[in-house]
Every structure is written in structure tokens, then in C-alpha cells.
């Protein structure tokens, strides 16, 4: 699934996606300085992709953007993005071979328009969640 934050496109592997929602203010809570999203009687922690990637977003709050609910091997959480771009198959290219290791990124792909999109590593993103 392709998502956007600011003017960047990122790829999320479909195997980790539960669903995507546009949350309402009443679904959001703070607990010990951590933002939580209530979905079907369950509270899930939220990560802001713009903060992790250190870029300027179009939507600075979850209500203004989209939350993609993800599941890693041991955690479920929400990832805040600006928008969903679409679903497509991509070819993964290793960044370590040509560049260096980037935290939270498993590789890159070249999009149909020639731009490069980073493929997010959901397992390493889950490490940012406090237990």
C-alpha cells in the first residue's frame, strides 16, 4: 500500500495492514504522554510517520490525516500518514547494498513516474512503541 507524508511516498507491506481509518477526535486519548486510538473497544498506540522520518507533513494530527492500523509479530499500532495513495506491486531494491541502513526502512522501489519510494519495515517501526 502506498501512503504519502508531505511530498514523500512510502510503501507499507500489505501483510501487516489491518485497515485504515480517519479517526474522530473522541477516539483519541493520551495516557502517560502517549497518544492512543480507540478502535472497537481496544486502545492502540500511535506513531507519526512524519516524526520518524523527520519531514514536514500536510496533516500534523491524526484527525487531519489517515491512520493505518498495522500488526507486527508482537504488536498492533496505528501509523499516522497524510493520505493513502493506492495499492500496487513493487520490486524491492536493497538500500544497504547501494547506500546504507536506514532505521525503519527495509528497501526502496522505483515508482511508475520514476520517483523513489521507501519501503517501510513494520517490525522495526514497532520497536518505537512503548510497552
Closest CA to 80 of 45, 30, 108, 105: 45
Q: DSSP class of residue 67?
A: E
Q: Does residue 79 contact residue 62 with C-beta atoms inside 8 Å? A: no
Has this prediction a pTM greater than 0.85? Answer: yes
Tell me the pLDDT tens digit for each residue of 52-104: 999 999 998 999 999 999 999 889 999 999 999 988 878 777 766 666 677 78
Amino acid at each position: 500500500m502506498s501512503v504519502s507524508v508531505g511530498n514523500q511516498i512510502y510503501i507499507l507491506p500489505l501483510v501487516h495492514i489491518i485497515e485504515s481509518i480517519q479517526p474522530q477526535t473522541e477516539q483519541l486519548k493520551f495516557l502517560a504522554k502517549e497518544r492512543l486510538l480507540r478502535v472497537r473497544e481496544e486502545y492502540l498506540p500511535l506513531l507519526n510517520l512524519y516524526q520518524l522520518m523527520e519531514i514536514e507533513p500536510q496533516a500534523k494530527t491524526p484527525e487531519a490525516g489517515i491512520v493505518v492500523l498495522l500488526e507486527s509479530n508482537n504488536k498492533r499500532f496505528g501509523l499516522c500518514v497524510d493520505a493513502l495513495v493506492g495499492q500496487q506491486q513493487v520490486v524491492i531494491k536493497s538500500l544497504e547494498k547501494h547506500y546504507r541502513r536506514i532505521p525503519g526502512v527495509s528497501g526502496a522501489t522505483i515508482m511508475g513516474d520514476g520517483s523513489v519510494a521507501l519501503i517501510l519495515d513494520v517490525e522495526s517501526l514497532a520497536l518505537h512503541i512503548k510497552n
